[in-house]
Amino acid sequence: MQPYLDDGSLRVIGVVQEQHAARARLYAQWRQLDWPIYVDSLNLLDHRVVPIPMLLDASGIIRARPRSPDALAELMQQSFPVEAPPVGLKLPDATELRTQAEALDSARAWRDLGDACFLTGGLDAAVAAFEQASLRDPSDARARFRAGVALKRRSESEQAQPGDAQAAIDSWAQALQLVPNQYIWRRRVQQYGPRLNKPYNFYFWIDEARQAIRARGDAPVVLQVEPEGSEIATPQKAVQVVALDDPDPEGRVDRDASRVHIETLVTPARLRPGHAVRVRLTFEPGAAWWNNEAEGLCVAGTLPPGVELLELRALTAAPAAAETRERRLWELELRISPDQPAGPLEIPLYVLYDVCEDQQGVCLRLRQDVQLQLEIDAAAASIE
């Protein structure tokens, strides 16, 4: 195909379905993709699956979906009637779209506003607009998916609000329930979901990419959000139940209310009986310091009947220094019994950890209770 590219009779562009643009940049750098690539995080093109190669004629008419170099070569020999190409689309002005949304008050108008706000970096405005769209039309699956994209991006930004990451997962799961054969959306939930539901490790290529790029003498693109935990976990097909410790069954260890902030991310929070759930626990020590010379962090509890623990592991290793204050991550995977009745299911866990008030200050072993809230529903979206 190189002759067609060299003589200007063929151009190549890409559209990548990816939540994190930097990951697409790293992929393109690794594969040495030197053509223009656009990042469709919101799935504005409405593709349900990838990959999809398309050959467009000079005026933008889709002429074929070539699946091989030979098929493309054959198409390059054909001539197609030339129609007037479309006038270049411009991103609508967000102020005008807001006026329109307030006047029409339709889901579509609010969703259009959300799209424009997201593309211009207005995450708060985008989240708000997508929420308005969902309120106007609860069956607007695109609005729910795009709300999830905006919430997830905000959760990883300086504008993050508590609960953003969970709200993103919930929005994606709602969108998937409305359109269960949308595989682009399904992947987004699976990315953070249980290993039992993973078709494969989505970001297995990142280490290989970095090694190959460095071997070429280049510096790999830096990822602002490093894939971790479930994102790089390998699928697990065989169920192995592991035990959960319960070293403080009577709750005698002093509770911590303020030293360590714990955020939970449950994927999915609404699930069918017999399905699995992945839980990420993020620990931010705030003003306190981890005491690395003590017993260490421990996730514990007594699981209710019908709930099995399949995996429990720390994603961050304790550092060598005696006192540190890094963010720590743990993940656990639970499976719910097929016989679990529909309705809310609370799973009480607790965490024991050792923190110091200050460097060289008073050190304590403390407990914080963590209540996981699930909703068991036979009609919930399946992410298998």
Partner 1 sequence: MFPRLLACVLLCLPGVLADEGMEVGQRHPDFVLPDLAGELGGLSEHLGQKLLLFNFASW
Which 56-95 positions form the footprint of partner 1 (CB under 8 A)?
A: 56-66, 68-69, 72, 75-76, 85-91
Phi and psi (nearest 5°) for 294?
Answer: -100, -160
219 near partner 1, judged by CB under 8 A? no
178 near partner 1, judged by CB under 8 A? no
Of 14, 79, 6, the C-alpha closest to 53 is 14
Question: Closer CB to partner 1, residue 181 or residue 258?
Answer: 181
Question: Least distance in Å: CB of 186 to partner 1?
Answer: 10
Question: Least distance in Å: CB of 226 to partner 1?
Answer: 14
Question: Least distance in Å: CB of 223 to partner 1?
Answer: 12
Tokens of 9: 């009779």
62 CB neighbour count, 10 Å cutoff: 9
Q: Among 192, 203, 350, 353, indicate the residue that binds partner 1 (CB under 8 A).
A: 203
**244 vs 248: CA distance, rounded Å:** 12
Q: Among 46, 102, 124, 207, indicate the residue that binds partner 1 (CB under 8 A).
A: 46
Output the 3-class SS for 330-376: EEEEEEECCCCCCEEEEEEEEEEEEEECCCCCCEEEEEEEEEEEEEE
Question: Closer CB to partner 1, residue 63 or residue 214?
Answer: 63
Question: Least distance in Å: CB of 33 to partner 1?
Answer: 7
Q: Quick one: DSSP state of residue 284?
A: E
Query: Which residue is it, tokens 């309120």?
Result: 135
**301 vs 150: CA distance, rounded Å:** 34
Question: Closer CB to partner 1, residue 8 or residue 305?
Answer: 8
202 near partner 1, judged by CB under 8 A? yes
Residue-level length of the chain: 384
205 near partner 1, judged by CB under 8 A? yes
5 near partner 1, judged by CB under 8 A? yes
Residues of this chain, 113-142, that bind partner 1 according to CB under 8 A: 119
